[in-house]
Amino acid sequence: MAELLVTLVTIAIVVGAIPGVCNYLILLERKLSAWMQDRVGPNRVGPMGLFQPLADGLKLLLKEEVIPSHVDKVLFLIAPAISVFTALLAFAVVPFGPTDDPGVPSFIRFIIAPGIDIGLIFIFAVGSLAVYGIVLGGWASNNKYSALGGLRASAQVVSYEIPLGMSVLGIALISGSLNLETIMKQQIDGGLMSWNIWFQPLAALMFFTASLAEANRLPFDLAECEQELVGGWHTEYSALKWALFFLGEYTHMITISFLTSILFLGGWNFPIIAEATSSYPFVWLVKLLVLMSKAFFFICVIIMLRWTIPRFRFDQLMELAWRVMIPLSLANLLMVMFVKQFDLSLWWLFLGSCGLFAAWGLISASLRSAEERSRPGYVKRKKAAASHGHGGHGHGGHGHAAAH
Amino acid sequence: MEWFQKNPLALAGLVAWIVGILMLMPGRKATSVRIPRLGLLVTAAGVVLFCAGVGGRGPEFANEVMFWTFAVGALLCGVLMITARNPVYGALWFALSTLSTCGLFLLQSAPFLAAATVIVYAGAVIVTFLFVIMLAQQSGAAAYDHRSRNAIPVTLASFVLLGAITLTLHKSPPAFSKRDLKEEAKVEVAAAAPPTGMMMVSPDNLPKEKPASKPNQLSLETAKLPVGSMKGLGKSLFGDYLFAVELAGTLLLVACIGAIAIAPRREEGAL
């Protein structure tokens, strides 16, 4: 009975906290992007615009709910709900604090469903359902742009699920478990030098990239790209239904950040202040804050990526998944299997990952130039430059100015 | 027949189920809105009656309720899938039916199987269906969406199949008694002090090594194993069923290569 009550309280806290956090993440995103573009950002409501999320939330609640006459009403209404539901459900197995600290009061638990043997697979399973929200929203809107957005989303998510799952398989092999708490505990017991990022740097990069693509975050937001598709799959949505879609997206962002910190950065472990052996009053609070800060760091990285890397073209997006990330993650998995089979030191994996990364860069660069050479209209670069001569106009301002 | 005489409830349910499906099938004379709704009601009542007639009473009430919810859900969604007029709805009912089946897997303590089914079927296969349907349905529903061909023989044939399966399951004794397995698993789990109230068992709770009496060294003894552990599943898949797994893998690889081989090249006009 107590177990049930604690679970219910945890669920209530998580479900209550996440929308508020998401609201403030939007403010953070706007402030950060303003900072990156040398603007001021929202500053009208409250000190430094701190109450802006409340005003936004109120606006979204009170705005007129428009349901266009040409939509499939049932699916149109269900789609945003699916989006939020799956995003929140995935959070059920993510530990968001120290789960086995003896000092934690018994009525607080930092995971909704503890001890799930297949935690990681559960997250992927629920995450793979998230695409239904987008696809159905796009289809039910009965609008060309929305349908195109839905199509793009389904192709993208199905493709990126493969590298997403395969990049984590290496970690499953290293730690011999799919339980997130176990994976975290093993890194914590070994301290800083046994964080998985040292053994799987390439997998960490691929996992982070693929999960951005799964969440439809920039630079992978082909499904809603404003310049081509108006608003993509949410063109016809307004008010709270639109907000639900974005609640789902931001919840996804939070889950990704927690997962990356737990899988690769040792969870709440941090040298000196939060070790496995450290014991001082309220150490669990420090551990909680460490894990939260790691997740916050990744959220900031995700937001700043938005203003750093331009959006991919769709064929580039698919190429990245099928021709780069899937072979790379397969090679990474093979490497882990090799190291585990022959009981080598795990540090070989660090060297191997770096080597793999460099080799793949070389291969793709040479493939690129080979493809350019095989194009029908290809003229050798030297020849082309020579025929243009010095009188050409395409040589950039600097060279020109210097010549004069 | 004898069995049906003992369970009139199941027989009534089955009849209602068949009638309901026939009413739901698109392309009957009356295509007004009332008929499909009535058909849905009749089918639902039939499925519930049939399940109530077939099912017995178990010890754990919650488990029973969940089982019947998932079982009825899976069957009903299956019916709705084949009778849906709109292919997109058909695909969605298929997804719901798959999810209900995954719920049944979870109840049988097979969480990995459930998650894998969600990933493969609900997450990938049906999304691909939706993708194709959305591409193909640019100009609205086609004629074959409004009419079902050979509704009566198809329905009857599928129910004959269902009857055959049910009869076989009822007549043949199960390979190992479910109750024995459950009790043994309970004993094992209780001995190993489960960490939580969840029904999933972590690999740490596996029973310690038993003297191997099986011919295959890699396989664990099925009856002694707490069901649902990843370790047991892995050992069984890559020990007992290694040949089948490799065969399936090879088949998929061949299919993959074949698909690449018959796909048109870029020079031949593909994108």
B136-158 pLDDT, tens digit per residue, is 765 666 666 667 778 888 888 98
Cβ–Cβ below 8 Å for A136 and B92: yes
Supply the CATH number for residue B19's domain: 1.20.120.1200
Q: Examine residue B265 and state whether it is found in any structural domain, yes or no.
A: no
Token pair 């095989």 is found at A374
Kindly tell me the burial class for residue B45, based on how many C-beta atoms sit within 10 Å of its own C-beta (0-12, 13-18, 19 or more): middle
Contact A160, A314 (CB under 8 A): no
Contact B239, B219 (CB under 8 A): yes
Buried b (16+ CB within 10 A) or exposed e, A245-256: bbbbbbbbbbbb
Q: Examine residue B262 and state whether it is found in any structural domain, yes or no.
A: no
Of B146, B171, B196, the one marking the end of a domain is B171
Model confidence band, residue B5 (pLDDT cutoffs 50, 70, 90): low
What are the chain B neighbours of A131 within 8 Å (beta carbons)? 123, 127
Same domain (yes/no): B233, B151: no
| Sign of CA pseudo-dihedral A297, A303, A304, A306 | positive
User: At B45, which helix (H) or strand (E)?
Assistant: helix B34-54
Cβ–Cβ below 8 Å for A117 and B122: no
Same domain (yes/no): B55, B140: yes
Same domain (yes/no): B228, B189: yes
Contact A150, A138 (CB under 8 A): yes
Phi-psi domain of B193 (left: phi exceeds 0; alpha: psi -120 through 50; beta: other): left
Q: Which of A227, A84, A75, A85 is nearest to A149 (CA)?
A: A227
Model confidence band, residue B252 (pLDDT cutoffs 50, 70, 90): very high
Per-residue confidence (pLDDT) for residue B227, from 0 to 100: 52
Q: Examine residue B25 and state whether it is found in any structural domain, yes or no.
A: yes
Terminal C-alpha separation, chain B:
59
What tokens appear for A180 in the block? 């997130």
d(CA A134, CA A84): 11
Terminal C-alpha separation, chain A:
86
Same domain (yes/no): B36, B148: yes
Model confidence band, residue B217 (pLDDT cutoffs 50, 70, 90): low
Identify the residue among B206, B230, B231 best suited for mutation to test binding to A, counting A beta carbons within 10 A and taking the highest: B230
Q: What CA–CA distances, in Å, run from B256 to A161, A348, A378, B125?
A: 18, 33, 33, 15
* DSSP structural state of residue B195: S
Model confidence band, residue B30 (pLDDT cutoffs 50, 70, 90): very low
Q: Examine residue B134 and state whether it is found in any structural domain, yes or no.
A: yes
Token pair 């796009």 is found at A138
A274 DSSP β-pair partners:
A270
Q: Is the pLDDT confidence value at B205 over 70?
A: no
Contact B63, B108 (CB under 8 A): no
Q: Is the pLDDT confidence value at B180 over 80?
A: no
What are the chain A neighbours of B134 within 8 Å (beta carbons)? 135, 138-139, 147, 150-151
The C-alpha angle A122, A167, A321, rounded to 5 degrees, equals 105
Q: Cα-flanking dihedrals φ and ψ of residue A274, to 5°?
A: -135, 75
Same domain (yes/no): B165, B184: no
Q: Cα-flanking dihedrals φ and ψ of residue A126, to 5°?
A: -70, -40
User: At A34, which helix (H) or strand (E)?
Assistant: helix A2-36
Cβ–Cβ below 8 Å for B196 and A129: no
Same domain (yes/no): B236, B160: no
Nearest to B111 among A118, A126, A165 (CB): A118
- By CA distance, what is A114's nearest residue in B? B196
Query: What are the DSSP calls for A160-210, one per residue?
Result: HHHHHHHHHHHHHHHHT---HHHHHHHHHHH-GGG-HHHH-HHHHHHHHHH
If one counts every other C-beta atom within 10 angstroms of the C-beta of residue A229, the result is: 22
Q: Examine residue B110 and state whether it is found in any structural domain, yes or no.
A: yes
d(CA A91, CA A172): 19
* SS3 assignment, position A126: helix
Q: Is the pLDDT confidence value at B246 over 90?
A: yes
Phi-psi domain of A142 (left: phi exceeds 0; alpha: psi -120 through 50; beta: other): left
Q: Which of A13, A32, A9, A16 is nearest to A303 (CA)?
A: A32
What type of residue is A271?
P
What are the chain B neighbours of A182 within 8 Å (beta carbons)? 202
Q: Examine residue B163 and state whether it is found in any structural domain, yes or no.
A: yes
* DSSP structural state of residue B216: -
| Domain residue limits at B188 | 180-240
Compute the count of residue pairs across chains A and B with CB atoms less than 8 Å apart: 92
Per-residue confidence (pLDDT) for residue A399, from 0 to 100: 40
Same domain (yes/no): B152, B18: yes
Same domain (yes/no): B230, B105: no
Closest Cα in chain A, distance from residue B215 (Å): 24
d(CA A255, CA A214): 12
* DSSP structural state of residue A63: S
Of B147, B171, B195, the one marking the end of a domain is B171
Of B154, B171, B188, the one marking the end of a domain is B171
Nearest to A115 among B119, B128, B202 (CB): B202
Which ranges of chain A have pLDDT less than 70?
Answer: 1, 379-404
Identify the residue among B89, B118, B225, B227 best suited for mutation to test binding to A, counting A beta carbons within 10 A and taking the highest: B118
Predicted-complex ipTM score: 0.77
A270 DSSP β-pair partners:
A274
Same domain (yes/no): B38, B109: yes
Same domain (yes/no): B96, B146: yes
Per-residue confidence (pLDDT) for residue B144, from 0 to 100: 66
What tokens appear for A142 in the block? 């009965």
Per-residue confidence (pLDDT) for residue B226, from 0 to 100: 54
- By CA distance, what is A130's nearest residue in B? B123
> Is B134 part of the contact surface with chain A (CB cutoff 8 Å)?
yes
If one counts every other C-beta atom within 10 angstroms of the C-beta of residue A42, the result is: 20
How many structural domains is chain B composed of? 2
Same domain (yes/no): B8, B119: yes
What tokens appear for A89 in the block? 């459900």
Same domain (yes/no): B9, B94: yes
Contact A129, A82 (CB under 8 A): yes
* DSSP structural state of residue A51: T
Q: Examine residue B257 and state whether it is found in any structural domain, yes or no.
A: no
Per-residue confidence (pLDDT) for residue B206, from 0 to 100: 46
Token pair 């705005």 is found at A63
> Is B232 part of the contact surface with chain A (CB cutoff 8 Å)?
no
Query: What are the DSSP calls for A218-249, one per residue?
Result: TTS-GGG-HHHHTTGGGTT--HHHHHHHHHHH
d(CA A260, CA A94): 11
d(CA B196, CA B189): 11
Cβ–Cβ below 8 Å for A115 and B196: yes
Per-residue confidence (pLDDT) for residue B140, from 0 to 100: 61
Gyration radius (Cα) of chain A, Å: 24
> Is A336 part of the contact surface with chain B (CB cutoff 8 Å)?
no
Per-residue confidence (pLDDT) for residue B122, from 0 to 100: 85
* A122-151 residues touching B, CB cutoff 8 A: 122, 124-126, 128-129, 131-132, 135-136, 138-139, 147, 150-151
Per-residue confidence (pLDDT) for residue B186, from 0 to 100: 52
Cβ–Cβ below 8 Å for B130 and A124: no
